[in-house]
């Protein structure tokens, strides 16, 4: 009888896990979770390093494109100097501002003007500062364009940029000829008209030029790369907090 009553208790004792077994199981589970978190953190660090390297390459490409815009605009101005008031600097300044921001556009506009003045008739002089400022403003205004700006928006920004340039240069001229305002305006009108018309016509190819430059440089990836870098950093920070909390 005793043996009959003790058998079920023995079975229950065998089925119920001991405290040591439970503790060991929890430790193993904790190690497994920690191992999984460590593996995820490693993957995130590898991915973050790859993204940061890609961002560095994009920034190097950006510098190369900006230098190309400055040198290209300066060189193209040489043949254009035989067509009064027709120039490629506004085009490249607005393109640079549209692609890389207003400050970069300003640098391209002012830099290309300063460089090209060594190559064209008239050269450097007191007027250089006003010309550089005018083309710099054009590049800055290019930075205000939406990424998918329409043709009429591009044309409007180009028109405003050209008018700003004309106003800045006219004000600069008044510093040298303060009593010739009326004659300066009359003399500049035909040239201003040609300048505005040619720049607006050039602006019609700014959109395809931007698409081509984006495709060659892969600059459309930059926004996505920055977003992913921020996301990876946040995930790594969260994993670090969870590890410290455990």
Each residue's pLDDT tens digit, 143-200: 999 989 999 999 999 999 999 999 999 888 777 776 666 777 778 788 999 999 999 9
Does residue 43 lie within any of the structural domains?
Answer: no
Q: Per-residue pLDDT for 11 more than 50? A: no
Does residue 144 lie within any of the structural domains?
Answer: yes
Does residue 6 lie within any of the structural domains?
Answer: no
Does residue 11 lie within any of the structural domains?
Answer: no
Question: Whose CA is closest to 206, among 99, 103, 91?
Answer: 91
Q: Locate the DSSP E strands across the chain.
A: none
Does residue 2 lie within any of the structural domains?
Answer: no
Does residue 160 lie within any of the structural domains?
Answer: yes
pLDDT tens per residue, range 68-116: 999 999 999 999 988 989 999 999 999 999 999 999 999 999 999 999 9
At residue 101, the 3 state secondary structure works out as: coil
CB atoms within 10 A of CB 57: 14
φ, ψ for residue 191 (rounded to 5)? -70, -40
**Range of the structural domain that residue 219 is part of:** 49-224
Whole-model pTM: value is 0.78
Does residue 195 lie within any of the structural domains?
Answer: yes
CATH of the domain at 147: 1.10.1760
Domain count, the chain: 1
């Amino acid at each position: 009888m005793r043996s009959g009553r003790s058998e079920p208790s023995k079975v229950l004792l065998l089925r119920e896990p001991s405290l040591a077994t439970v503790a060991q199981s929890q430790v193993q589970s904790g190690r497994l979770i920690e191992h999984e978190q460590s593996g995820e953190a490693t993957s995130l660090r590898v991915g973050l390093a790859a993204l940061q390297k890609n961002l560095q390459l994009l920034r190097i490409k950006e510098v190369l494109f900006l230098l190309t815009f400055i040198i290209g605009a300066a060189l193209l101005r040489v043949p254009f100097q035989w067509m009064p008031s027709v120039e490629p600097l506004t085009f490249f300044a607005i393109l640079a501002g549209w692609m890389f921001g207003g400050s970069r556009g300003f640098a391209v506009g002012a830099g290309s003007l300063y460089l090209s003045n060594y190559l064209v008739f008239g050269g450097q002089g007191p007027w250089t500062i006003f010309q550089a400022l005018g083309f710099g403003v054009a590049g800055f205004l290019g930075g205000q364009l939406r990424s998918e700006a329409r043709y009429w928006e591009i044309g409007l920004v180009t028109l405003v940029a050209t008018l700003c340039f004309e106003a800045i240069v006219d004000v600069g001229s008044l510093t040298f000829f303060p009593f010739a305002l009326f004659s300066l305006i009359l003399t500049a009108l035909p040239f201003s008209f040609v300048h505005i018309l040619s720049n607006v016509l050039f602006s019609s190819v700014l959109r395809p030029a931007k698409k081509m430059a984006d495709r060659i440089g892969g600059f459309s990836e930059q926004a996505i790369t920055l977003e992913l870098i921020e996301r990876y950093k946040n995930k790594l920070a969260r994993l670090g907090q969870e590890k410290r909390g455990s």
